[in-house]
Structures are given as structure tokens and as C-alpha cells.
Amino acid sequence: MLAEEQILEQLNRAGYRVTRPRRAVIRALLEDGVQARPAEVHARARQHCPTIGLVTVYRTLDLLSDLGFVRRIHTEDGCHGYATVSHGHHHHLICRNCGAIVQFEGCDLTLFLEQVGRDTGYNVEDHLLELIGLCQACQ
């Protein structure tokens, strides 16, 4: 997982200003290391930047998602949260009760994706995989 300074340095190299609100959102995301909904990120970010608005949180989350630092996680209730990601190909296992997220690597979906491509005519370039279940603590 990336550290705050690494993310800020990469934002700066990509041409984005490192503002106090952006720094607060990044800190809020990295504090727990678990999935957080935008309102939760907003509440935690306000501890670092009391004047930050919810719209700024959403915009920063979108920017961090576009740059690959966070990933949008869909939940069963139709809402979504965000989880920080480590670089490289990985997937998420999400507890439907407590929202805990575990990243895991390794999936051999090559044959499946090739079949989907043949069946649909698509050139499948990438995929996202989220598995939902109950963590050991919630079972």
C-alpha cells in the first residue's frame, strides 16, 4: 500500500496541486485501511481540515480513483465506498456485515475472459472482481 507522501508526490508529478483538503482526504483513507463511504471519509477528513466540504471529498475520491490510488467498492445496498489499493493486479473480498475488505492477488480467469470475448465480440482488456461474504469475525 502506498504511503501518504508517495501519493502526494505522484499527484504533484501528475500536475495536480497538493492542497490541504486533498491531503486530508488521503489521510482519512489511509487511517483505517478499510472501505469507507464518502460521508465517512468526509467526517474523518474534517479532523484534518475542518472546512472541507463533501463535494471536495467526492471530487478528490474521483481523482484518486482515476489515478489508481483508490478503488470504488460496490456494496449490496447499492451504495459504494472506496478502498486504498496497492499497485498491481488484485481483487477484493468484502464482508457484507462489517464492511471489512481483504485484497487478494491471483486469479486465473484467462480462459473465462477469452470465452467472454469470443461470445460477445469484445476485446476484454481488464476486469474487476469483488467477492462478498462473511469474514471470520462475523460468521
Domains of the chain: 1-87 (1.10.10.10), 88-139 (3.30.1490.190)
Confidence (pLDDT) at 2: 64
Contacts 24+ apart (CB under 8 A), 34-40: 34/83, 34/99, 34/100, 34/101, 35/73, 35/81, 35/82, 35/83, 35/94, 35/99, 35/100, 35/101, 36/81, 36/82, 36/83, 37/79, 37/80, 37/81, 37/82, 38/81, 38/82, 40/81
Give the bridge partners for 84, in sequence order. Answer: 70
Q: Which of 118, 29, 27 is nearest to 70 (CA)?
A: 29
Report which of residues 22 and 82 the model is more confident about. 22
Confidence (pLDDT) at 88: 56
Mean of the pLDDT values across residues 19-32? Answer: 90
69-127 pLDDT, tens digit per residue, is: 887 877 666 667 787 766 556 677 888 888 777 777 777 788 888 999 999 999 988 77
Q: Cα 67–100–5 angle (5° rounding)?
A: 35
Confidence (pLDDT) at 25: 94
Confidence (pLDDT) at 115: 92
